[in-house]
């Protein structure tokens, strides 16, 4: 049973705007307009930098005049709220942190109206009042549902659908559960695939008149009927013969969906594949596979019929790539600093090198790696630059461990 910390729960059943992981619908493609098409040599103007955060790889999400992210302190994960000038408003413990390899928090909060929903590294799910930081309810989801973990714990950013909140325990009991977002009570749980959860934040699609949750475990891509938790289809996505058995699988990349097709990619030479959904949404087959865009954990974007991202060559290196959405054909592959994360806005690509913090602005050009501008982030404590960029109201937000930076990328009028 969930631990209920307030007797009177707020009414927030009305549909409200959601701010979440990787922009609208988790595509990595921002709806922002009026942005700079090139930057000064030193980079866009730095508006502010906050170095008061604890270490983490979470991106940011947004409430009304508030910015949210997570970090890890000692053995717990913490939610931070900042004002629009980067000043810390409050911080709240949200659950138990992962306690093994790379324990730093990775889950980006999901915001709806005045409330936030997030999970900790050990799968503790919580609803938080976005104004005060007070916990509305909490639920030890992985523990209560016999959830299992990969080598790096839980890194899922929670998905909201009407009154439901989805989470992926994995393991012998269930792959996915739906909770009532107002109370934390269990609505349904899916069957199990006897597989560990991946480090993926799932997507919600409409297909054949049904809402489907498209998710990835360490060995499968699968769809769950959002109405009742039925597993509609599964496709294996497993390690290749060349995979080093000493390594654990990664599977960190949120799927892309377009026109009945789902693209997934895995890193560590797992490669990518395009899945076609058919049979009234109850079957799926592999349309094509690729070995080029083998993304580690930096995400992918679809822009004008082409997929962009960076591949895994080894844990400290990778190239930037473009492949055709319809066929998987390689359009180009270019080395630029290191692999990293990617988002897009107004036909431009924003890439963030994970090794040294180089930030690039590219034209989304299937003909070549079309770099326009770049600069280097130097703020933040030592460690990888793993947090994904985000854009909001003409500001580019970049995280590096304990530091969050805000850059002005809005075109000036007149």
Quick: pLDDT tens for 229-249: 999 999 998 766 665 655 677
Quick: pLDDT tens for 259-305.
Answer: 999 999 998 888 999 999 998 999 999 999 999 999 999 999 999 99
- Across 387-396, average pLDDT: 98
Rounded Cα–Cα distance for residues 267 and 263 (Å): 13
Distance of CA 228 to the CA centre of its chain: 24
Give the mean pLDDT of 307-315: 96
Answer yes or no: is pLDDT of 327 > 80. Answer: yes
Non-local (6+) Cβ contacts of 336 within 8 A are: 319, 320, 351, 353, 358, 360, 369, 371
Domains recognised in the chain with CATH numbers = 1-31+53-197 (2.40.128.630)
Output the pTM of the full model.
0.95
Geometric angle at alpha carbon 365, from 37 and 358, rounded to 5° = 60
DSSP characters over 232-275: EEEEE----TTS-TTSPP---PPPEEETTEEEEE-STT--EEEE
Which helix (H) or strand (E) segment is 278 a member of? Answer: strand 272-278
**In the predicted structure, residue 9 carries a pLDDT above the cut 60:** no
Least confident of 170-184, 230-244, 321-335: 230-244
Looking at the chain, the whole-number percentage of residues with pLDDT higher than 90 is: 89
- 254 and 264 Cβ atoms separated by less than 8 Å: no
Q: Strand, helix or coil at 61?
A: strand
Calculate the dihedral angle through the C-alpha atoms of 11, 185, 233, 311, rounding to the nearest 10 degrees: 80
Given the DSSP bridges, would you call strands 340-345 and 29-30 parallel, antiparallel or unpaired?
parallel
Q: What average pLDDT does range 248-264 have in this prediction?
A: 94
Under DSSP, the state recorded for 142 is H
Nearest C-alpha neighbor of 397 from the set 407, 412, 387: 407
Read off the pLDDT of each residue in 389-409 and give the average, rounded to a whole number. 98
* pLDDT band, residue 11 (cuts 50/70/90): very low
Backbone angles phi and psi of 104, in degrees to 5: -60, 145
Closest CA to 333 of 353, 364, 311, 355: 311
């Amino acid at each position: 049973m969930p631990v209920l910390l307030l007797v009177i729960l707020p009414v927030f059943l009305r549909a409200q705007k959601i701010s979440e992981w990787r922009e609208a619908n988790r595509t990595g493609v921002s709806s922002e307009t009026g942005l700079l098409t090139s930057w000064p040599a030193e980079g866009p103007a730095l508006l502010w930098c906050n170095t008061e955060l604890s270490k983490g790889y979470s991106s940011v999400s947004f409430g009304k005049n508030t910015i949210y992210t997570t970090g890890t302190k000692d053995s717990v994960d913490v939610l931070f709220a900042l004002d629009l000038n980067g000043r810390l408003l409050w911080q709240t413990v949200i659950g138990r942190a992962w306690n093994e390899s790379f324990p730093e928090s990775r889950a980006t909060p999901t915001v709806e109206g005045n409330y936030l929903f997030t999970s900790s590294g050990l799968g503790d799910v919580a609803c938080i009042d976005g104004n005060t930081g007070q916990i509305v309810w909490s639920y030890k989801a992985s523990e209560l549902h016999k959830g299992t973990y990969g080598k790096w714990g839980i890194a899922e950013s929670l998905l909201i659908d009407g009154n439901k909140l989805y989470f992926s325990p994995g393991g012998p009991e269930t792959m996915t559960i739906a909770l009532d977002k107002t109370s934390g009570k269990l609505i349904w749980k899916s069957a199990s695939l006897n597989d560990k959860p991946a480090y993926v934040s799932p997507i919600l699609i409409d297909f054949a008149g049904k809402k489907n949750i498209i998710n990835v475990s360490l060995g499968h891509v699968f769809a769950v009927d959002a109405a009742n938790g039925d597993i509609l289809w599964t496709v294996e996505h497993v390690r290749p013969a060349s995979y080093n058995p000493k390594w654990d699988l990664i599977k960190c990349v949120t799927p892309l969906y377009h026109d009945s097709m789902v693209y997934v990619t895995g890193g560590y030479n797992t490669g990518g594949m395009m899945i076609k959904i058919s049979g009234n949404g109850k079957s799926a087959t592999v349309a094509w596979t690729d070995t080029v865009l083998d993304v580690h954990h930096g995400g992918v974007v679809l822009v004008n019929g082409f997929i962009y991202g960076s591949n895994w060559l080894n844990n400290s290196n990778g190239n930037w790539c473009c492949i055709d959405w319809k066929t998987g054909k390689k359009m180009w592959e270019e080395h630029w600093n290191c692999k990293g994360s990617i988002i897009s806005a107004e036909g431009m690509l924003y890439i963030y090198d994970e090794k040294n913090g180089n930030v690039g602005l590219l034209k989304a050009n299937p003909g070549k790696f079309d770099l326009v501008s770049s600069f280097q982030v130097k703020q933040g404590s030592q460690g990888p630059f793993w947090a994904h960029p985000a854009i909001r109201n003409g500001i580019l937000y970049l995280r590096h461990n304990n530091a969050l930076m805000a850059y002005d990328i809005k075109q000036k009028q007149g």
